[in-house]
Amino acid sequence: MQTHISFIIKTCFFHLRRIASIRRYLTHDACVKVVVSLIFSRLDYCNSLLAGLPASSILGLQRVQNAAARLALRKTKRDHITPYFAPCTGSLSTPESPTNCPL
């Protein structure tokens, strides 16, 4: 299972780098759609198989999710991404208007 998780992490970061290279040509809505489709197709697919794994295995997947959120919201590597996640939903929002979810 660990080899499968590391493969998912590696391919997700590869695709995020590719999306980041064309980010300046995309509108915000288009970038969000591309990032969401990546997350749904790679991370959320067969999500139930990952339930119950130790936190050390899930940490890399969480890093991919945070990197995707930073890319979609144009935040830097050092910016905290937690305030942009709506409580209990896992969707993205802005800290100024937490109910206004861009996804």
Among residues 50, 40, 48, 45, the alpha carbon closest in space to that of 5 is found at 50
d(CA 4, CA 19): 23
pLDDT at 19: 94
pLDDT at residue 98 above 70? no
Tell me, yes or no, if the pTM score tops 0.85. no
Rounded Cα–Cα distance for residues 10 and 4 (Å): 10
Does the residue 83 lie in any domain? Answer: no
Is residue 88 one of the residues assigned to a domain? Answer: no
CA angle 98, 67, 39 (to 5 degrees): 85
Report if residue 26 sits inside a domain: yes
Per-residue confidence (pLDDT) for residue 57, from 0 to 100: 84
Output 14 or 80, whichever has higher pLDDT.
14
**Which pLDDT value is given to residue 40?**
85
Provide the pLDDT confidence category of residue 86 given band limits of 50, 70 and 90.
low
pLDDT in tens, 42-83: 887 777 777 888 888 889 888 998 899 899 888 888 888 777
In a domain, 33, yes or no: yes
Q: Is residue 67 part of a domain?
A: yes
Number of domains in the chain: 1
Q: Is the pLDDT of residue 91 over 80?
A: no
Let me know how long the chain is: 103
Write the pLDDT tens digit of every residue in 16-44: 999 999 999 999 899 999 998 988 888 87
- Domain hosting 24: range is 2-77
Tokens of 35: 């990032």
